[in-house]
Amino acid sequence: MIPGTGLSEKKAAGWFWGLTGFFAILWIVLPSVMQSGYRYDVVELQFIGKEWVLSTAKHPMLPAWLLEVVNLLTDRAFAAPFIAGQLCTLASLCIVRAFARKVLSERLALFGTLSMLPYWYFSLKTANYNQNIALIPLWTLSIWLTFRAFQNNRWCDWAGAGAAIGAAAYAKYSIVFLVAAILLYSFFEPKARKRWFGYGPWLSLATAVLVIIPDFLWLWQHDFICLRYVQEQAANSKGILDRIICILAFIASQSYYVLPSVVILLPFLGRRWKKRQCEDPLAIDARKYLAAMIFLPFALHLAMPLLFEMRLVEGYGAPFWPLFGVFLLLCFQAREGEAAENRSLGLVVLIELLTCLILVFQSLLYPYVTGNAHAVQFPYRDLAAACDRIWSEKYAAPCPYVTGHWRLAGFAAHGMKDRPSVLFYAKGNYPEDGEPTGTWARDSDINERGGLVLWELPDKAASEGPVQDSGFLKQRYPRAETVPEPLILHYKTGAKVPPLRVGVAIVPPADGGAGSGK
């Protein structure tokens, strides 16, 4: 049992590392054991990471770099994306605890941090490692270092805050909402506003600009294609009612994410929450600051459908809430005693285990209930082996590219022995025109060097004669040769799920594969 109010720094650290370490291992092991494929965000980052590009037409690519580093360190272990996700989680929770220990007692700091342990983007969602997962630690670090800078006015904190914000821009450009929140706070909070008369904010600005310059130059060279992608993703709203529904749905999704933290802290807060009477100036400043850092980005997002007709995806709110538990304990009076601590600890473990059951359902039971396979049951190793065989039967040189249905191409490329590059389009699987999402290849490269084209076939295609060319194929790859027999791939589940039928075409190298004929 956890000691009461006399919780020492050593014991608090022991509980923190014990619980976070245990569940980090659990969230790595469970999907590694129960899944045979990845969710689609992971697939995308897997094949982008090997290209080491600054950005694509969709997002900046720091998350892909981190994943590729883990891939290299683990020799492309299946668990690599899950390891990357939990490394981001541990980093985020360490930053939350550092903030909490600055403004709360050791006891409350521990539980303010642990209340976020079951947060979906620290648990279930880490199996779908993506931009949001990688953004959270950098977003939280930016909040923490900026708070320290406002309080202490030290050059290292100002420079660190700028560097963290600049680095976060390489994860996702939505960091601009946090920057807006910091600026609004600094203009309206007197203690923060006076810092503008010193060197600090200007040092942060200069540091952030220096970090961002390479990505800005990349965007300049590529005509700011990420901004075009944002515009294309905007919802075609038909009226004010659609926008209001979009806003209400986003609010509901975010409420769902913070609910576990509230439940975990109920033993401390009780049924009737009482405002915390606090005389510590640092805690008062932290309360106002966190209110701005949490709720201003949230409010700015709510304005997007009204101002720009943009649809809101629940994942946009992923970085808002890691410090929410700390904020609650700064605002409301917490009970003393071991009973509250032990109940809260029990709720942490219970909610985490319930979240694990959701992963078990998705990984094992989803096909039995729905009759359809999930991406995590995808037989990507079988697909990769078939692609290696088809290519090697004609050419001795490695397959340079895979394209077509980008998810099929991504799964295949990740499992193929030479990891070919993937040419993919974000706007669709087989666009007749338009620029590819990745900047490292074009159709002309595939026509020159050769590669494989994959597309999904209707269920009846395999029983109705040879595979027919897909409509896009000859337009983009005039010399493509369609493989007559489709690939029939069985999902990794015991449920009765229709097999996946994949059409394959070979684009011969322009030189005919000199020296590689078989």
Q: DSSP states of 193-205 as a string?
A: HGGGGSSHHHHHH
> 106-114 vs 80-103: helix axis angle to the nearest 10?
150
What CA–CA distance (Å, rounded) separates 211 from 192? 24
Cβ-in-10-Å burial (0-12, 13-18, 19+) of 238 comes to: exposed
Nearest CA-CA partner of 192 in 249, 145, 150, 240: 150
Q: What percent of the chain has pLDDT over 70?
A: 91
What CA–CA distance (Å, rounded) separates 450 from 418? 14
- Helix, strand, coil percentages, rounded to 5, for the chain: 65, 5, 30
pLDDT band at 434 (very low <50, low <70, confident <90, very high): low
Helix (H, G, I), strand (E, B), or coil: what is residue 271? Answer: coil
What CA–CA distance (Å, rounded) separates 316 from 176? 12
What CA–CA distance (Å, rounded) separates 114 from 348? 7
pLDDT band at 413 (very low <50, low <70, confident <90, very high): very high
Q: Quick check: 496 and 470 in contact, CB under 8 A? A: no
Q: How do beta strands 487-489 and 500-507 pair? A: antiparallel
Whether residue 369 has pLDDT greater than 70? yes
What CA–CA distance (Å, rounded) separates 108 from 325? 10
> 175-188 vs 281-308: helix axis angle to the nearest 10?
130
Range 428-435 average pLDDT: 54
Provide the pLDDT for residue 66: 97
**For the chain, give me the number of helices (H) and strands (E)?**
20, 6
Distances 366 to 35, 38, 493 between C-alpha atoms, Å: 12, 15, 10
Read off the pLDDT of residues 127-144 as tens digits, 9 standing for 90 and up.
Answer: 999 999 999 999 999 999
More confident position, 9 or 75? 75
Range 39-62 average pLDDT: 92
Whether residue 430 has pLDDT greater than 60? no
Average predicted confidence (pLDDT) for the chain:
89
Q: How do beta strands 487-489 and 451-456 pair? A: unpaired
Q: Which residue type, as a one-letter code, is found at position 194?
A: K
Structure tokens at 122: 């620290």
Read off the pLDDT of residues 197-235 as tens digits, 9 standing for 90 and up.
Answer: 999 999 999 999 999 999 999 888 887 877 766 666 655
Provide the pLDDT for residue 518: 43
Whether residue 7 has pLDDT greater than 80? no
Structure tokens at 61: 């690519």
Nearest CA-CA partner of 426 in 183, 232, 244, 193: 232
Provide the pLDDT for residue 416: 95
Provide the pLDDT for residue 113: 97
Helix (H, G, I), strand (E, B), or coil: what is residue 335? Answer: coil
Q: Quick check: 285 and 373 in contact, CB under 8 A? A: no
Nearest CA-CA partner of 146 in 91, 208, 88: 208
Give the distance from CA 169 to its chain's centroid. 14
Residue written as token pair 């899944």: 35
Q: Which residues contact 272 (CB under 8 A, 6 or more apart)?
A: none
pLDDT band at 2 (very low <50, low <70, confident <90, very high): very low
Residue written as token pair 């084209």: 453
Q: What percent of the chain has pLDDT over 90?
A: 72
Provide the pLDDT for residue 309: 73
Whether residue 467 has pLDDT greater than 60? no
Read off the pLDDT of residues 280-304 as tens digits, 9 standing for 90 and up.
Answer: 899 999 999 999 999 999 999 999 8
pLDDT band at 392 (very low <50, low <70, confident <90, very high): very high
Structure tokens at 28: 């790595």
pLDDT band at 337 (very low <50, low <70, confident <90, very high): confident
Structure tokens at 363: 């990984």
Q: Quick check: 415 and 381 in contact, CB under 8 A? A: yes
